[in-house]
Amino acid sequence: MLTEKPASWKFELETPELGNPEAVTYLHAEAETGQFDGIFYDGMRFSFEGPVIVDAEGRWIDSDLSVSLKISATFSTPCSRCLEPSRIEILNDFLYLYSLRKKESPEESSEDGNFHEVQVSRWQRFFDISDHVWESIIVSLPGKVLCSADCKGLCPQCGRPLRNGDCGCSAKELDPRLEKLLGIKIEETKE
Ligand SMILES: [Zn+2]
Ligand SMILES: [Zn+2]
């Protein structure tokens, strides 16, 4: 499971011709994911269901280089309620603005969170945008995934998925050992 960007991922976007506002450069790449199980992030496991598709476009906006990035990926992850493997698709756009100007705060980004400033010391022929790709994937991962909007989760007593119908348990007769596991606090009644 990946928790950091794979070392083998390298995506380089060519810098458009300096001083030419009409110049546009493109990058289309597929990040190979076959050798990785997936991403482990924020307590959740996201297994790759194919390559991560990266599309980037570079153009000048005045004296800054705007890099727009489109990320597309499919993952399988356990449903947050019933643990059934669920497919999620990520399709997100991000914007990075490369600038020679010094910023006041290095982590500053606009309020919508999809626009990031990157300070560079000089213009290069190519910029490696693989860190942006990784960052964009991570922020696109949902904090909670449901197999269906009305997933009923698992029976607290027998652990069977409730979507399969009534498991025969009465929800009120909880095994006290299971209560502990579930972290439910129920007042003990002594007889
Ligand atoms: Zn579910
Ligand atoms: Zn049950």
Sequence ranges of the domains in the chain = 12-140, 152-191
Please say if the pLDDT value at position 144 is more than 70.
yes
Ligand 2 centroid to residue 75 C-alpha, Å:
29
**Contacts (Cβ under 8 Å, ≥6 apart) of 88:** 46, 74, 75, 76, 77, 142, 145
Q: What is the mean pLDDT of residues 133-141?
A: 94
Quick one: pLDDT at residue 132? 95
Q: How far is the CA of 118 from the centre of ligand 2 (A)?
A: 53
In the chain, % of residues over pLDDT 70: 82
pLDDT at position 108 is 52
- In the predicted model, what is the mean pLDDT of the chain? 86
Q: How far is the CA of 126 from the centre of ligand 2 (A)?
A: 58
Min mean pLDDT across 56-70, 126-140, 176-190 is at 176-190
How far, in Å, from the CA of 165 to the mean position of ligand 1?
Answer: 13
CA of 142 to the centre of ligand 1 (A): 15
Looking at residue 60, its amino acid is W
Q: Alpha-carbon distance 55 to 160, whole Å? A: 42
Ligand 1 center to 101 CA (angstroms) = 49
Q: How far is the CA of 97 from the centre of ligand 2 (A)?
A: 54
* pLDDT value for 2: 87
- What gap in Å lies between CA 97 and CA 8, rounded to an integer? 25
* pLDDT over 90 percentage in the chain: 61
State the alpha helices, DSSP H only, in 12-148: 130-140
Decide if pLDDT at 103 tops 70: no
